[in-house]
Structure 1
């Protein structure tokens, strides 16, 4: 049976595919029904939509594409430049790393050494130069110091990599808000950066560079951008080379903390008299407070200001958990106090004198740490300072600009105290006791009479005090006068010295010979050029107070020369054997012992009966001499007991005449106040003096003895001398010129 419907079933594939696609044997029902094939147009729609959203057309789209291009360009440049800069910094850090020495070589970087001075009892009283107390580490130093430094200077020290971007940004913000440049003022430096600065970025000081050490350090602390970049790179290298504790060790040993102290050990010794390993929280806070401004906050300059700064540091330590509330309260209630030596700063003038008199290579320009033992007696130093202050507060008119100086020494020349001016708490000031050369006035007269006594004359020999003139070649007639403008007639040599008469002093000087007087004074230690004319006898020559006091010490010790000295032993720190000993003391004999003892007897009359009565001491014999120069520009009193010699000078620095002051006035009173304090607690002992013996001579006529006068050659000499010195007792107040150096009452 045939099929009546010859039509074949329709093929879907025939409708969907071209004849070229019919290579597939059998269409897959699964593939024809897959959703992805039906959803293929959807992605094309999304793509078309994204192009539209990106601003494919219009002006806005153009600018957006342009900005995008620039951003991609900047990023491409930035990461490439950043990579290059990072590589350069890494290489730079690596290079610096290779140049950094072992940490032990960086702990003492001073270009000069230090001088520590001890008093006669072996206690420290002064420091000079750059003091370095010895190496300390984070293990040996007190934890209080570590904590105070970190709390004050860099609280993130143990967490950053050497540079703190947050700290720098904060510092820039503060500087700008305060109206300064971004790099002026607050620096935002980490402890590592500060250590790099202390190391001067690895560039050591060269004394031959033409820069002083102060200029070198100032140059190292410049705040330029270039310097800051170098500092940051150096700090990164230090962080790679050293541990955090090693960096902190460098910082603690090299930081300058005022008053010549380099490092926390030196500062602790300087201010508290103890090691940095034993400081309290209050003391550690005071030391850390010095880091920001060592000179301003140095407790030796202002203890109150330093304590106030330390209170701020205590607060920081408490806030950061280094101190409990109770510990912080205790530190505030009991602030740090200076050691006795630091508080007194005794012997400022004395220390300056020792530094100037000692060998330069072990004092002023030392590169070593030197220990000098001295003759200073701090009790006597305080006595002299108190005496000067008492007189000026109670006996000198308020507002007076007059100055004064005091020297106290033993008979062998060992200087016990020096006050170089009214302002006693000073360092490096003008020292009037040592540096000021002034006319000595009648204080010179003991050397005139000492020369006569050494020739065998007696204190009871007489001379006529009367109007007297001399013709001086090239100068004409010279007529000295007494301070009172009166004349006493015939007087003994002892009375002439006691009352400080000028005419007898000139006559005695001329009789024994000016050259001999000049020789005696020079051998006793007056090194200045001595006057060549007859005014030599009246103190027309200039001298320093310490020279004059030393010369009087020579009289006290029996007539031997004395060289004032303050250094008894010098050695290097850590060494047991001294490099040098005493340079000074008693030297060669100048006048005989008998002459010296008779001169002391005469000088005792000056104090007990004469022009120096205001200097008298209770229970103690004292001898001395007043001195007042022409127009009262200088006033002196120098004297001694059996124990000590003291000299006092008073005047104006600009040579203005004193008003109503003579050597027997205020200088004698300062001497009295000084010696009363100096002799407290001492048992009185008599002066080594001897009364006059032997025949007496009337130098201007009268009964001669075996030293002049008589018949024959002696009579001729006596007549010549009588013509020179006069033989009458005329007491007229004649004379037409003022003496060069007046006597005083």
Structure 2
């Protein structure tokens, strides 16, 4: 029945119906008009905001900042460099469960929408209105990519429009796999991690395929607020996010309720990630820092920090660890010789427990290990104390000649032999530095009393026959000082410079048996300036052989030899061996007055060790980019460091003394490399001196003859067997070397070698300060060298130095250098005084009254 049939007895349409019909038509028209306006407005907005949008085709050439990694010779990763810690992971290597976790958590309709999910926008709007605040976002994964790559993070209406436009464009140009590849590699996930591969490494120290569901769900809960939700910063919020991700995975059918609950109940071990420098510190910090400098100097900073390089080096990690240990403990022993001042603190009985617990917590925190959730942390965790560092300890008791100490929760004792360097009496409650030295008994650790040294040191080692740098330790502690004392510290080498002078003398006709009179002499070194070199202890030996003079590091003899062979000749000889530092033309140079670096001094000795060849040292073997292409390959080079310039620059200086002998008399390759230096310093060299320095007697790819190198090695072996380097004799294999000590014992050195390895050690303060009376190179540097070499060579066969062809070892005492063309020097005429040389005024005023030798 029509409900309106009685309203109009005369028939026709009811006025109410006509009014309603008109209203409907009006509303329909308005709706249509609004739709047209909305459509036109949307097109206008799209056109307006699309005008200045970036081109998304750059996404197809995705080239993000990736970690560059450094490897030792055995393939161990020892360093990394990055601005953003990211490892690029191909899509086919991303585990399926990770994709499901991120899609469920961030964009459940990802595989259905085309960039913008309007259903999610409406759903999020309703939830946010009901909550009265923003509790859910509606950005799709594609929108997040648009924001991450092209837009700023500011929350504005304009940015959201641009984000939506870009998202639709991205979906038109990339497939879903490409979008997920970009998203999962680009996204920041806290704990210094960019991308899921870095997150797996940083949070769990695992490869991506090793992650379990609990770990995956924890990472997948981070994108919306990675710093806030990181378990490193807030365990509670991280736990809530993990539970939310697992529930969403259940809702989407990716996992079961049982799997979700098992994951939620799985305790996790989480690691707090450090910077790239923190990682490098664990292994070979000075070595990797030098690698960094080399790569940046050649290729630029962005190339190293963003291109994902793999840098394979010559570093021998076990050797480096042995060197670090030897240097640290050696410097600590030197520091002990300077005495004990006072304990770090003296605590009252009621303060001891708090100190012990605080120390325990600090040592645990240094490991960077966290337990998730917090209540999963094991009870009574032991304090992780190792033998490779110092710890603060508190003395808990003193009895039976034992000091009882606690390092955190580790109980131990200090026997008298491990603290005999201290004469003061300490008390219960005193806080001291200790080092673990094994176990005193099954449940009691053994410690030694230590002190952190102010003194510094360096240790440098390379293979003499290849130039491969195996060890570079530039100081006591890289965190304390990044200054690399192997390469950056220009210090006087002291008597370790004498072998360079004696090698030059051998090639001028000297032999080990040449007589030099050790007697007082005074040299005029400038206008009204005179220098009288003195020996250690002030005594003189009279006529002695060159062998004796070098073995016992006799200063006066070295000065007389340099005066005899000529300063300009000696300077050219030193440069030929690879010394690049400024060597001053002063007689005190014979005693090591000119500043050099430990690196170049060690490299010069390597010439003696490798039969007269000089290999340019190198740290990097191979550089490969992220695609596997070789960027550069390095290998041993049998040339001196200084490169030859063009022919014009290598013309000899114009003076009456220096002329170039005939081609057949010269080693032209060697000569060309020396001419630039001769011209730069305006050296006056005779025809014979040029033949000695650069003559044809020197074989190709050598800087001195094998004969000269062998005679020098025999002399330096005698220094180890019978002279100032006698502590190195305990190596119990053929070794050669020389000590060095400077004025007031401010610097102490020992440079020594075997056929397989050469190492140099320097000890001293960064400022010119006396180490201590009697602190010579033989006393404090040689023991460090010995401790290192014993470990470095323990798996290498015992080898002696090769005898060059034509050398009769039975006549070794009378053999001169292989380049000698002058009359053999049986004896150097004695002089009581000598006039000023032509070279220049001497900087030796610092040496007028000070001795620069050693025992």
Task: Using structure 2 for the length normalisation, give the TM-score.
Answer: 0.60
- Measure the CA separation in 2 of the matches of 1:285 and 1:460: 80
Q: Name the CA shift for 1:295/1:400 in 2 (closer, same or farther; >3 Å).
A: farther
Q: Name the CA shift for 1:371/1:337 in 2 (closer, same or farther; >3 Å).
A: closer
Aligned to 1:142: 95
- Measure the CA separation in 1 of the matches of 2:507 and 2:132: 81
Aligned to 1:382: 321
- Measure the CA separation in 1 of the matches of 2:165 and 2:796: 66
Aligned to 1:239: 167
- Measure the CA separation in 2 of the matches of 1:171 and 1:420: 60
Kept in 1, the 8 Å contact 2:467–2:636? The answer is: no
SS at match of 2:164: helix
Q: 1:644-659 residue pairs with structure 2 within 5 A? A: 644-659=757-772
The Cα shift of 1:355 comes to: 3.5
Kept in 1, the 8 Å contact 2:229–2:241? The answer is: no
Aligned to 2:149: 199
- Measure the CA separation in 1 of the matches of 2:720 and 2:225: 53
Kept in 1, the 8 Å contact 2:521–2:532? The answer is: yes
- Measure the CA separation in 2 of the matches of 1:677 and 1:441: 27
Kept in 2, the 8 Å contact 1:120–1:377? The answer is: yes
State whether structure 2 residue 601 is matched by structure 1 residue 664. Answer: no
Aligned to 2:602: 549
- Measure the CA separation in 2 of the matches of 1:677 and 1:166: 71
Q: 1:268-667 residue pairs with structure 2 within 5 A? A: 276-277=208-209, 279-281=211-213, 284=216, 317-318=245-246, 321=249, 324-330=260-266, 332=268, 345-358=282-295, 360-362=297-299, 364-366=301-303, 369-393=308-332, 396-397=335-336, 398-411=451-464, 412-424=466-478, 429-474=482-527, 476-575=529-628, 579-582=632-635, 584-585=637-638, 588-660=701-773, 661-667=775-781
1:544-573 per-residue CA deviation (whole Å, 9 max, x = no partner) reads 222122111111001222311122334444
State whether structure 2 residue 743 is matched by structure 1 residue 743. Answer: no
Q: Name the CA shift for 1:531/1:154 in 2 (closer, same or farther; >3 Å).
A: farther
Aligned to 1:693: 811
The Cα shift of 1:381 comes to: 1.9
Kept in 2, the 8 Å contact 1:624–1:640? The answer is: yes
The Cα shift of 1:489 comes to: 3.0
- Measure the CA separation in 2 of the matches of 1:396 and 1:469: 38
Kept in 1, the 8 Å contact 2:510–2:825? The answer is: no
SS at match of 2:800: coil
Kept in 2, the 8 Å contact 1:148–1:313? The answer is: no
The Cα shift of 1:384 comes to: 1.5
Q: Name the CA shift for 1:280/1:142 in 2 (closer, same or farther; >3 Å).
A: same
- Measure the CA separation in 2 of the matches of 1:545 and 1:556: 16
The Cα shift of 1:364 comes to: 3.8
The Cα shift of 1:170 comes to: 12
The Cα shift of 1:479 comes to: 1.9
SS at match of 2:733: coil
1:513-549 per-residue CA deviation (whole Å, 9 max, x = no partner) reads 2222222221111101111111111112222222122
SS at match of 2:778: coil
1:111-159 per-residue CA deviation (whole Å, 9 max, x = no partner) reads xx7644333344543333567644533x641245446657888899899
Q: Name the CA shift for 1:79/1:317 in 2 (closer, same or farther; >3 Å).
A: closer
Q: Name the CA shift for 1:737/1:140 in 2 (closer, same or farther; >3 Å).
A: closer
The Cα shift of 1:343 comes to: 8.6
Q: Name the CA shift for 1:575/1:245 in 2 (closer, same or farther; >3 Å).
A: closer
SS at match of 2:168: helix
SS at match of 2:335: coil
Q: Name the CA shift for 1:392/1:401 in 2 (closer, same or farther; >3 Å).
A: same
SS at match of 2:325: helix
1:59-88 per-residue CA deviation (whole Å, 9 max, x = no partner) reads xxxxxxxxxxxxxxxxxxx99999999776
2:824 to 707, 712, 715: 707
Aligned to 1:65: none
Q: Name the CA shift for 1:167/1:594 in 2 (closer, same or farther; >3 Å).
A: farther
Kept in 2, the 8 Å contact 1:538–1:741? The answer is: no
SS at match of 2:797: coil
Deviates more, 1:540-549 or 1:146-155: 146-155
State whether structure 2 residue 72 is matched by structure 1 residue 119. Answer: yes
1:253 to 160, 185, 188: 185
The Cα shift of 1:373 comes to: 3.0
1:17-43 per-residue CA deviation (whole Å, 9 max, x = no partner) reads xxxxxxxxxxxxxxxxx9999xxxxxx
- Measure the CA separation in 1 of the matches of 2:637 and 2:216: 43
Q: Name the CA shift for 1:507/1:100 in 2 (closer, same or farther; >3 Å).
A: same
Q: Name the CA shift for 1:155/1:591 in 2 (closer, same or farther; >3 Å).
A: same
Kept in 1, the 8 Å contact 2:313–2:619? The answer is: yes
- Measure the CA separation in 2 of the matches of 1:570 and 1:474: 56
- Measure the CA separation in 2 of the matches of 1:241 and 1:566: 48
The Cα shift of 1:103 comes to: 4.5
- Measure the CA separation in 2 of the matches of 1:416 and 1:116: 18
The Cα shift of 1:91 comes to: 4.3
